[in-house]
Amino acid sequence: MTHHIQFLPLIAFIALSGIVSAQQTIPISDSLAAHAEILELTKGYISGKKIKKFHFGEYSMHSYTRMATKNRSNENYFGTVRSSESLYTSSFKFSNSFNDTALVLMSRQVNEKTRAPLVIGVVEIGGKNLLGSDFFTAWITINRDTSDIWTLFVGTSSGKEVEETQTAYLTNGDRTINFTLVRAREKGKNILGLPAMGYEFTEEGNSIGAIQFIGDKIFPTSFTVWMDNRLDIKTKFLLATTMTALSYTPDELSE
């Protein structure tokens, strides 16, 4: 099942936020606000094969693996149509204080196809974006249970040759957790004036969690998280793992 939504550019790949005491926050449902545990997800930094100073409540990201980076480009005989494809893959391991563990495999595929403009002197005529797509996929396996793998997908495509689409979902085939973009109405306090933005997660119409990526600062390392404290331990762990995957990117971990 797919759900077409409007979402943050490059998913969470350019996460523009900051956690400060008086920062602008995203609007969330009254039910979630009334029952939420508020946490701070601090990404930390990459050192060797570990993420240093990662902090997220009772959750831990204790290792990651750079897997592969592939880049390919070509053009037609006349050099008028150029295409490129980049594929980044990585993985990380995640756990909570109840000894649950998760293995997360991540992939980001970026495709571009453009038609070069006709240059006459200093004038350029034409030139079009024929295809642009950005697909992020994560496969989440909890407690090594390969019969219950969750798939997280966020993707966008546009251009003259394709229909413009924006799609996002988290599912294991039996359950589907939707997440949609939420934003503040007023202009933000960051230097770009962007309003607070993030994702709110719902299941069967009930809001169960949210994460804010855009706030008062640019290029931060911390994000605000709301988690419904009535959820069972496994669902909380799944949401925490998903939010962490959205906070990192395969190309970021492949550098």
Q: How many domains does the chain have?
A: 1
Instruction: Give the pLDDT confidence score for residue 219 in this predicted structure.
Output: 57
Residue 173 in tokens:
């085939």
6 within some domain: no
3 within some domain: no
Instruction: Give the pLDDT confidence score for residue 191 in this predicted structure.
Output: 65
Residue 199 in tokens:
């994702």
- Tell me: pLDDT of 48 over 50: yes
Quote the Cα angle for 45-108-84, to 5°: 120
38 within some domain: yes
Instruction: Give the pLDDT confidence score for residue 18 in this predicted structure.
Output: 36
Domain that holds residue 203: 30-253
- Tell me: pLDDT of 23 over 90: no
Residues in Cβ contact with 30 at an 8 Å cutoff, skipping those fewer than 6 apart: none
Instruction: Give the pLDDT confidence score for residue 129 in this predicted structure.
Output: 75
- Rounded mean pLDDT of 71-88? 82
10 within some domain: no
Residue 188's pLDDT band (boundaries 50, 70, 90)? low
- Tell me: pLDDT of 158 over 60: yes
User: Cα separation of 216 and 192, whole Å?
Assistant: 10
Our measurement of the distance from residue 174's CA atom to the centroid of its chain's CA atoms, rounded to an integer in Å, reads: 22
Instruction: Give the pLDDT confidence score for residue 209 in this predicted structure.
Output: 96
- Rounded mean pLDDT of 69-91? 83
126 within some domain: yes
Residue 9's pLDDT band (boundaries 50, 70, 90)? very low
86 within some domain: yes
18 within some domain: no
Percent of the chain topping pLDDT 90: 39
69 within some domain: yes
Identify which has the larger pLDDT, 114 or 2.
114
Residue 33's pLDDT band (boundaries 50, 70, 90)? very high
Instruction: Give the pLDDT confidence score for residue 125 in this predicted structure.
Output: 62
Could you give phi then psi for residue 35, rounded to 5 degrees?
-125, 15
Element (H, E) at 4: none
Query: In 10 A of CB 46, how many CB atoms?
Result: 16
- Tell me: pLDDT of 99 over 90: yes
